[in-house]
Structure 1
């Protein structure tokens, strides 16, 4: 293996509660905007994964890609709400105040992998602004050779084209790349892109039962060192 691609939220840092706040706000705004088109709000909240004001693990709002959320909104409203949902989501993301709490040991793990000669990247559903805030806070910018963020209307995980910035910029074969993430979408990205190794971690929103396509399921991303040393 030559490259290691890390998801950010739920993998390098503990899942940022500000994302949950954004998700809840987006759902509430949707319910208000299209209230006359929604017959049963309680059922709609449950369908999206919001119960008693909390986003439930393994649901659309917890770990689904934006296009999955948008499709669910369209289904509930009985009309195409794509443009509204994408614009509102981007506005909420742009105004997010991130909570960057590192998973214990990750600073040392990243330095170890860097010193062992691995090239590393971030592949995240966060915006460019959010990643820049993360790198400024952690001072990790020297550790990552490529950073792939998600802007409005861009391809998202698990679409393998999300990795084009890596493969277009560097001469690396997919089988020499590891992906490490906390959701089924992260692992499916590895499957779709035919990456050499797919490692699921349990520090985020994904449930262990969802990681049927992972090569390894580990407690934290720190375990990647032992996996690669085997």
Structure 2
């Protein structure tokens, strides 16, 4: 069956928010746990929701820490976020060719809008499912299934593209095809271990695959 729908994760997939996320975690953790966390310690926090990460540290102060993280994140957003090569051209091409396009992310909507406005990618997506729209986050199938419903799409003809095991497993759980991105900050081998159907070296590889 031919793929006619492509769902993307946002951070680390469409836009390079890695430095922003790492800086936001280090700022927050330094406030609450001075001199405890280093850069390499926070890589594990990329992917899960903020609530999942911070509640495992301190249930009492979870909301407070999320707030501190988001304030720093929004304040430094535009200076630290960058585009990945070939993303804009590829997404633009897919939109022109009539693919149904959606974003499924574990971020809050406000931050998502900031990233899409900055990169001008907003115009190409019919559907954006954020953490504000669901009960469960990836790898639970709910956010992907929600995007499929909104796009009136069939999982069998859908490809889920992401930089984290949450994306690959979420796609598998929802019954879609999956693609990992080799530029994931966690390293290509880490992602390959979850056996996505495809591995993209750069986003424009999608045009060949599809």
Name the residue aligned to 2:39: 54
Count of matched residue positions in the alignment of Structure 1 and Structure 2: 202
**Match among 161, 179, 185 for residue 199 of structure 1:** 179
Name the residue aligned to 1:161: 142
* Off by >6 Å, runs of 4+ in structure 1: none
Task: Judge conservation of contact 2:163–2:184 (CA < 8 Å) in 1.
Answer: yes
Task: Judge conservation of contact 1:14–1:101 (CA < 8 Å) in 2.
Answer: yes
- Verify: 1:104 aligned to 2:85, yes or no: yes
What's the CA shift for 1:21?
1.1
Name the residue aligned to 1:131: 112
Q: Which runs of 5+ in 2 are unaligned?
A: none
Task: Judge conservation of contact 2:13–2:184 (CA < 8 Å) in 1.
Answer: yes
SS of aligned partner of 1:159 = coil
Distance in 1 of aligned mates of 2:145 and 2:59: 25
Change in Cα spacing, 1:132 to 1:15, as seen in structure 2 (3 Å) is closer
What's the CA shift for 1:152?
9.9
Task: Judge conservation of contact 1:124–1:150 (CA < 8 Å) in 2.
Answer: yes
Name the residue aligned to 2:203: 221
SS of aligned partner of 2:117 = helix
1:1-230 pair list within 5 angstroms: 1-31=3-33, 50=37, 53-55=38-40, 59-66=43-50, 68-70=52-54, 72-73=56-57, 81-96=58-73, 97-98=76-77, 99-151=80-132, 154-195=135-176, 197-211=177-191, 212=193, 213-228=195-210
Task: Judge conservation of contact 1:124–1:148 (CA < 8 Å) in 2.
Answer: yes
Change in Cα spacing, 1:140 to 1:163, as seen in structure 2 (3 Å) is same
Distance in 1 of aligned mates of 2:197 and 2:4: 17
Name the residue aligned to 1:77: none
Change in Cα spacing, 1:141 to 1:175, as seen in structure 2 (3 Å) is same
CA offsets 1:170-209 (integer angstroms, 9 cap, x no match) = 32221111111111111111111111x1111122323222
| Cα RMSD, aligned residues only | 2.5
- Pair member with larger Rg: 1
Q: TM-score, with normalisation over the residues of structure 1?
A: 0.76
Distance in 1 of aligned mates of 2:60 and 2:175: 32
